[in-house]
């Protein structure tokens, strides 16, 4: 049975599909399965393998689905008491510990823009385990010579490529193109997507201009609030190398759940402050006229 589970894990990783592996790590007394029994749970409810059936397996199933979303493992203790026996028909009476472990493929990083920042980010991200995809419309920049470790290099019109490409929900996407117009079009196409991370490079003034343009186009504010902009952790980065480090630090923080609800609220507050600042600027300009 575990061979079937291991095969399913390998297939899920190959497909880039998140799942959670449930393993009995300790058993005392009478239990329906032995230590090492495994069950793989997918986000859509599919199951491969078993840890013995019954309501405790059902409880572990739901905890596994939660782990896929939270990306956090947990150890669960079950007392296979008379209550379990009555509900499941299993005559056990033992104790069991189950380890629930999210299984995620190597994180996919899509770098939209193959300029200086993209070049350094690709190198650093590969070294910490990201599968890097580079997209640019300039063959001179998006080349195998500049990105020897990239899993994919795409030379194409950026908005057109995004429009016809399905990105996985666990993808990290960074917009670092060569100009305002390209950044705007890339964000217009990517903001509605369900992505693990979406970041936009640029100063606060540039971000404000892009947001203004998208707001005029009736893009929902909630979609823009999910964007990390200006991109990267604030470490005072100046050079392309330093900016790449700040972006990678933010990617790692998101990957390990260090940018949680509190940080999302702060990002939302920054957006609200930015929006208020734009309104005040427009009011001032009207008064001047």
Instruction: Record the tokens describing residue 241, joined without a space.
Output: 């190398």
Degrees, nearest 5: CA angle 232-238-110: 40
Residues 6+ apart with CB under 8 A from 268: 225
pLDDT band, very low/low/confident/very high, at 285 (cuts 50, 70, 90) = very low
Average pLDDT over residues 45-57: 87
Instruction: Please provide the average confidence, as pLDDT, over all residues in the chain.
Output: 85
C-alpha 251/C-alpha 126 separation (Å) is 12
Q: Percent helix, strand, coil in the chain (nearest 5)?
A: 45, 20, 35
Position 23 pLDDT exceeds 60: yes
C-alpha 170/C-alpha 113 separation (Å) is 20
Position 40 pLDDT exceeds 60: yes
pLDDT band, very low/low/confident/very high, at 272 (cuts 50, 70, 90) = low
Average pLDDT over residues 161-174: 92
Q: Higher pLDDT residue, 286 or 20? A: 20
* pLDDT for res 176: 96
Position 198 pLDDT exceeds 60: yes
Position 149 pLDDT exceeds 50: yes
Strands of 95-103's sheet in order across: 47-49, 38-42, 19-28, 95-103, 74-79
Share of the chain above pLDDT 70, in %: 84
**Region of poorest pLDDT, from 27-31, 104-108, 136-140, 176-180:** 27-31
Task: Count Cβ atoms within 10 A of the Cβ of residue 63 and give its class: 0-12 exposed, 13-18 middle, 19 or more buried.
Answer: middle
Yes or no: say if 199 and 230 are a contact pair by the CB < 8 Å rule: no
- pTM, two decimal places: 0.73
Q: Using one digit for the tens of pLDDT, what is the confidence trace for 79-116?
A: 876 454 455 444 456 788 999 999 888 889 999 999 99
C-alpha 229/C-alpha 187 separation (Å) is 11
Largest CA distance in the chain: 84
* pLDDT for res 276: 54
Yes or no: say if 199 and 173 are a contact pair by the CB < 8 Å rule: yes
Yes or no: say if 121 and 176 are a contact pair by the CB < 8 Å rule: yes
* pLDDT for res 197: 94
Q: Higher pLDDT residue, 92 or 174? A: 174
* pLDDT for res 262: 37
Q: Using one digit for the tens of pLDDT, what is the confidence trace for 205-232?
A: 888 899 999 988 888 888 888 899 989 9
Residues 6+ apart with CB under 8 A from 12: 18, 19, 40, 42, 103, 105
Instruction: Record the tokens describing residue 233, joined without a space.
Output: 């952790």
* pLDDT for res 274: 54
H runs (alpha helix) in the chain: 2-15, 54-70, 82-88, 116-127, 158-164, 180-190, 204-216, 221-225, 240-255, 261-288
Yes or no: say if 76 and 56 are a contact pair by the CB < 8 Å rule: no
Yes or no: say if 196 and 190 are a contact pair by the CB < 8 Å rule: no
Average pLDDT over residues 116-120: 97
**Region of poorest pLDDT, from 73-77, 159-163, 254-258:** 254-258
* pLDDT for res 258: 80
Yes or no: say if 240 and 223 are a contact pair by the CB < 8 Å rule: no
Please state the φ and ψ torsions of residue 74, each to the nearest 5 degrees: -155, 155
Q: Using one digit for the tens of pLDDT, what is the confidence trace for 52-84?
A: 877 788 889 999 999 988 888 999 998 876 454
Hey, what CATH topology would domain 108-288 get? Answer: Rossmann fold (3.40.50)
pLDDT band, very low/low/confident/very high, at 275 (cuts 50, 70, 90) = low
Rg (CA), the chain: 24
- Give the residue range(s) of CATH 3.40.50.720 domains in the chain: 108-288
């Amino acid at each position: 049975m575990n061979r079937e589970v291991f095969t399913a894990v390998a297939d899920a990783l190959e497909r880039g599909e998140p799942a959670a592996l449930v393993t009995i790590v300790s058993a005392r007394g009478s239990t329906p399965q032995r230590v090492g029994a495994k069950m793989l749970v997918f986000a859509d409810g599919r199951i491969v393998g078993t840890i013995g059936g019954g309501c405790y397996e059902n409880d572990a199933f739901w905890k596994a689905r939660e782990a896929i979303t939270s990306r956090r493992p947990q150890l669960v203790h079950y007392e296979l008491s008379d209550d379990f026996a009555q509900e499941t028909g299993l005559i056990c009476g033992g104790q069991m510990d189950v380890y629930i472990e999210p299984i995620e493929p190597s994180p996919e990083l899509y770098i939209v823009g193959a300029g200086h920042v993209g070049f350094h980010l690709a190198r650093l991200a590969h070294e910490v385990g990201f599968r890097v995809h580079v997209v640019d419309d300039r063959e001179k920049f998006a080349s195998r010579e500049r990105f020897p470790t990239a899993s994919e290099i795409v030379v194409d019109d950026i908005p057109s490529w995004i429009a016809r490409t399905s990105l996985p929900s666990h993808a990290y996407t960074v917009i670092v193109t060569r100009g305002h117009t390209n950044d705007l079009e890339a964000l217009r196409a990517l903001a509605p997507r369900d992505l693990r991370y979406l970041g936009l490079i640029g100063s606060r003034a540039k971000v404000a201009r892009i947001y203004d343009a998208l707001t005029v186009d009736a893009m929902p504010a909630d979609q823009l609030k999910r964007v990390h902009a200006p991109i990267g952790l604030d470490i005072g980065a100046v050079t392309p190398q330093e900016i790449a480090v700040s972006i990678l630090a933010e990617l790692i923080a998101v990957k390990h759940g260090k940018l949680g609800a509190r940080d999302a609220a702060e990002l939302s507050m920054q957006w609200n402050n930015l929006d208020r600042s734009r309104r005040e600027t427009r009011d001032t300009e009207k008064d001047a006229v």
